[in-house]
Amino acid sequence: MGEKENEDPTVTKMFHYKMLSDLLGSKEAAKSSMLYSYKHGFSGFAARLTDSQAKEIEVIPNQVHKFHTTRSWDFMGLNDHSTTNLLTKSNMGEGIIIGVIDSGVWPESESFNDRGMNPIPPHWKGICQEGQLFNSSNCNKKLIGARWFVKGILDQSQTPINISNGEDILSARDSSGHGTHTASIAAGNFVVNANYEGLAAGLARGGAPRAHLAVYKVCWSFGHGGCTDVDLLKAFDKAIQDGVDILSVSIGISIPLFSYADQRNSIAIGSFHATAKGITVACSAGNDGPTAMTVENTAPWIITVAATTIDRAFPTAITLGNNLTLWGQSVDTRMHNHGFTGITFSDRIALNNSDDSALGCKRGSLNATLAAGQIILCFSQSSTQNIFSAAISVAEAGGVGLIFAQYRSDGLESCHYIPCIKVDYEVGTQILSYIRKTRSPIAKLGIPKTIIGKWVSPKVADFSGRGPSSISPTVLKPDIAAPGVDIIAAYIPFGAEKSSGFALLSGTSMSCPHIAGITALIKSVHKNWSPAAIRSALVTTASQKGTDGSNIAEEGSTRKVADPFDMGGGVVNPNRAIDPGLIYDIETNDYVKFLCGTGFSSKSVSGLTQTKANCTKNRLNELNLNLPSITIPYLKRKVTVSRKVTNVGPVESMYKAVVEAPQGVNMKVEPQILRFNKTTQIVPFKVTFFTTGKVYGDYRFGRLIWRDPKHTVTIPISMRAIFV
């Protein structure tokens, strides 16, 4: 019934009884019928009524509500109450061990409880390594192993860790929160009523809640921080020895990238050996997008994961003194005064008018006398300016709130000190127009709300690293995209109130463990599938359409339709990936021959692969590595590419080719029909590309699809024509 008309709850309750008495005919009937009188936050009541009685007054039927998940898994179709999806078919990843190479773990987090967990799998050979504030009792049937590797970072920094000031913790215990977050995304157990400051509340869980976790701490916070190659390589080495089935690595190096055979590319080297042992390795694509060629972790044996949004947002109202309400987004639910207060534009209160540093609220740029008690409107002048640093600047100057207008970007962060709301330039300009036209402008900042399903999604995040690969242009990267914006997951306790144990974070670091969790589910069903087979299943069944049926877009400077350099094969579709029909498989020796074909010497390849490589005799045209994609960076008139597919569907199957050629290119597939039976389960085919243009072009994109009555097996095609 809306807002209370009287502040006295007794009066409100009497009004409810009178209304119900008039309907039912007596006070006694009203008392018997009424369940609750809502008289504090709002006005209303709950009562038992017949259908005919209900029709006489405006009522809302009482419904049974289900727990809400923390969204990203339900968004991908993996809700835990379905009996037909991949989550239930795989027994939630039961028996699979996911290794997480990161910054460690906070073992007391509820996400790592072992309720409902099966015994530790017999193939596990690892340990629970003790250290500072960490002992063997911190492990259980969920968190079955933990190790830490610090020698590399100690050698690099040449200074000891000062453990007395809390710089870091000399054990597998997480001091930054990053590793705890990623581990719980991959395989966190069920946690009821998880939330971040009251937002995104629901049932939290990882992708494979019945899988086991082993953590390997290689990233440290002391000194300049970071994760060194020697520590990373040791972590890979131990993870292989320990018996993990999957590795999640949300770590990378910036451009320029080192070659796959360079010892400084420890992730490429370590992941090669893991892959050779049948361990699937998922890595983050990096956060330097949306610029082209910023994708990291580009080795062809790695599953490289881009980040997307989901259909959840945190809209926050900004009410101006002229009663105009505009909307931004925020995750700051505390420190609000809930009333109108003065608002001003940062440039008006600059400490120094000779530069424009106050425009973006850089630290030390604001006049504290003029900022005190005001909401400050700031305009970011580049995509690198940060709402958090602007909030510190405003808080130091005595401001009580921040509205930060910026280049459209994904991901929210709490400002902690004052309430902050992020808006785009359009909304920022509307607010600025009001300030300029009003003698004493005022505004009120609302409390963020959690809204699901009202935004077109997913979209490729603006920060997600983009292809093509700068080191190996014939290998499409990223491979696949998964949720990575405003993901709620376990976190270390922080602040005086020790937080809720959960945090909202954004990055390809968050999308990577989504794929690791899904991989665990697939591996639980298809125990003998190779890492390449699992990657193929993910890529060939991925979605290119959003929730509204339109093509998935990318959040960049131009907001275009996403292409393979933004999201690889598309956004992961777990329930389709379990039954892909056909797979593009690759053996370890194929990677060796690929490396030889890219120009590495026998010595370099032998050093990387620990095999006796002969690159003179055994080399593979790099275009012919059996990837679930085709990328041709230099198409000179005509080229033919070879692939082969393995049938993992019904034994007797027939697939027909459907071609969507890139603009300016003709495609011919031979054969156009693939037939499988008991004796033929692997069939090769060739695709020939002809250019039809007469000028140099940029990359163009297309698809090759194999269809039978049940399956649609799609690989992305990326091509750039040149003329000689």
In this structure, the dihedral spanned by the alpha carbons of residues 597, 598, 601 and 604, taken in order and rounded to 10 degrees, is -120
DSSP lists the bridge partners of residue 689 as: 639, 667
DSSP 314: -
Is the distance from CB of 441 to CB of 435 less than 8 angstroms? yes
The H-assigned helical ranges of 500-553 are 508-525, 531-540
The H-assigned helical ranges of 355-454 are 368-371, 387-396, 425-437
Rounded Cα gap, residues 268 and 307, in angstroms: 20
Closest CA to 251 of 277, 229, 221, 222: 229
Is the distance from CB of 239 to CB of 214 less than 8 angstroms? yes
Helix (H, G, I), strand (E, B) or coil at 539: helix
CA 208 to chain centre: 15
Is the distance from CB of 718 to CB of 689 less than 8 angstroms? no
Rounded Cα gap, residues 311 and 276, in angstroms: 37
Q: How far apart are the first and last CA of the chain?
A: 75
Catalytic residue of the set 33, 74, 102, 266: 102
Assess whether 102 carries a catalytic annotation.
yes
| CA-derived radius of gyration, the chain | 28
How far is CA 436 from each of CA 328, 365, 403, 442, rounded to the nearest angstrom? 20, 21, 16, 12
Assess whether 40 carries a catalytic annotation.
no
Q: What residues contact residue 224 under an 8 Å CB cut-off, 6+ apart?
A: 157
Q: Length of the chain in residues, anyone?
A: 724
Assess whether 16 carries a catalytic annotation.
no
H, E, C per residue of 74-138: HHCCCCCCCCCCHHHHCHHHCCCEEEEEECCECCCCHHHCCCCCCCCCCCCCCCECCECCECHHH
Catalytic residue of the set 472, 509, 604, 718: 509
CB atoms within 10 A of CB 495: 7
Catalytic residue of the set 16, 37, 109, 178: 178
Active site residues: 102, 178, 509
